[in-house]
């Protein structure tokens, strides 16, 4: 599915980073950052350009090829791994930051990934996340079509209870990211620290 979606020569979600990430990059500690479900690489390349050591993970070979091309254009390098998040080993106390931008998964897998994120962050490490909420289904400007794939403040409070939230908010904002996300979006944003 994702290889097909990314098969166009254009970048489905654009080449600029997600706005929430761009506005809060400085809240990530310098060091090793893991980008989940990274797709065509826009967020990983942004972080590499800001001086972070970036590892990206996704299951799309086509997305990886486009991400590496974007990194080359900006004269940075990223470590891009092809893997299924169901079995990807994030390690323990390994990352200074983890970035999850529109990483929508079925509930059981999402819960498992979030538990692994909590273990994989170093003490002081930061999770930065933006995802669509169920209200997005009424707006139809991007994201999955199933409500159970969406996230909310209560879901994140429960699944990321091992972290301390510095920012946790549901809101509507204009999301302009290529053709894939375009228009007013209902999102949840989180910045959480492992203390």
What are the tens digits of pLDDT across the range 141-172?
A: 989 999 999 999 999 999 999 999 999 999 99
Sequence ranges of the domains in the chain: 2-193
H/E stretch holding 89 reads none
Res 3 pLDDT > 70: no
Q: Using CA atoms, how far apart are residues 13 and 180, in angstroms rounded to an integer?
A: 5
Homologous superfamily in CATH for domain 2-193: Vaccinia Virus protein VP39 (3.40.50.150)
Q: Using CA atoms, how far apart are residues 125 and 103, in angstroms rounded to an integer?
A: 19
pTM for this model (two decimals): 0.96
% of the chain beyond a pLDDT of 70: 99
Q: Using CA atoms, how far apart are residues 8 and 86, in angstroms rounded to an integer?
A: 27
**Alpha-helix runs per DSSP H in 19-120:** 19-24, 42-49, 61-73, 107-120
Residues 6+ apart with CB under 8 A from 55: 32, 33, 34, 35, 78, 79, 80, 81
% of the chain beyond a pLDDT of 90: 87
Strand 95-101 and strand 121-132: the pairing is parallel
pLDDT per residue over 11-22, tens digit each?
A: 988 899 999 999
Could you identify the residue written with the tokens 């931008």?
A: 101
Q: Using CA atoms, how far apart are residues 135 and 17, in angstroms rounded to an integer?
A: 23
């Amino acid at each position: 599915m994702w290889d097909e979606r990314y098969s166009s020569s254009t970048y489905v979600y654009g080449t600029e980073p997600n706005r929430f990430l761009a506005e809060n990059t400085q809240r990530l500690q310098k060091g090793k950052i893991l980008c989940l479900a990274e797709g065509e690489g826009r967020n990983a390349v942004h972080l590499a350009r800001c001086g972070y050591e970036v590892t990206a993970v996704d299951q799309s070979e086509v997305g990886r090829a486009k991400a590496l091309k974007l990194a080359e254009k900006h004269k940075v390098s990223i470590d891009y791994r092809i893997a299924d998040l169901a079995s990807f080993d994030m390690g323990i106390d390994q990352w200074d930051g983890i970035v999850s931008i529109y990483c929508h998964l079925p509930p059981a897998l999402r819960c498992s990934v979030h538990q692994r994120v909590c273990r994989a962050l170093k003490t002081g490490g930061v999770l930065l996340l933006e995802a669509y909420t169920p209200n997005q289904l009424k707006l139809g400007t991007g994201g999955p079509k199933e409500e159970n794939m969406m996230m909310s403040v209560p879901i994140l409070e429960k699944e990321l209870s091992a972290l301390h939230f510095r920012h946790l908010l549901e809101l509507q904002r204009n999301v302009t990211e290529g053709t894939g996300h375009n228009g007013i979006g209902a999102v949840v944003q989180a910045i959480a620290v492992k203390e």
